[in-house]
Amino acid sequence: MPDDTMITPVKTNTLPPVANIYPEIDLQQKAKEPNKFLKVLGGIAGGALNFVAPGLGGILGNVIGGGGSSFGSYGALMEQQRQFDEMQRYSQISSSLQQRQQSQMLNQQQQQSMQLIGVQHRASMQAQEFTTVSNLMKTRHDSEMSAVNNIKS
């Protein structure tokens, strides 16, 4: 029996390469640590700016010097931008789905209202028919009673 690769798989000890789905994440992981000069410059600029605008100095210091946070790295900013874009896309999809559901609910309410109006109209017509037949039968009965009373007297 010949070795057919379709029937008997070839055994190898190597795994296939792993594909990168989000290459921006690799950028964040490979981001270099900022040099000491930028750290010092960021600290000085942040401290000086804190006197002018409290709270803003720390942010600027982190941007210039890195500050050990992920805010200063380009990869982290790209990841934050990607997440923000994804959240906006999900928000747009969610709002369009909500609008579609609201319009479907309004259509269902309109259909139910029209059905209710139809039921009310049929009930009204039946009540009018009953009243008409009842009045005719009462009139007939009264005329028959008067005929009977005339014969007796």
pLDDT score of 77: 80
Token pair for 123: 């009930």
pLDDT cut 90: percent of the chain above it? 41
pLDDT score of 109: 96
Token pair for 6: 């379709």
The model's pTM: 0.39
Is the distance from CB of 53 to CB of 2 less than 8 angstroms?
no
* Residue 19 buriedness (CB in 10 A; 0-12 / 13-18 / 19+): exposed
On the CB side of 39, CA atoms within 13 Å amount to 8
Is the distance from CB of 64 to CB of 37 less than 8 angstroms?
no
Dist. CA 34–CA 136, nearest whole Å: 103
pLDDT tens digits, one per residue of 101-131: 999 999 999 999 999 999 999 999 999 999 9
Mean pLDDT (whole number) for 52-69: 60
- Which of 24-28, 61-65, 114-118, 133-137 bottoms out in mean pLDDT, i.e. has the lowest? 24-28
pLDDT score of 110: 96
Is the distance from CB of 82 to CB of 24 less than 8 angstroms?
yes
pLDDT score of 71: 45
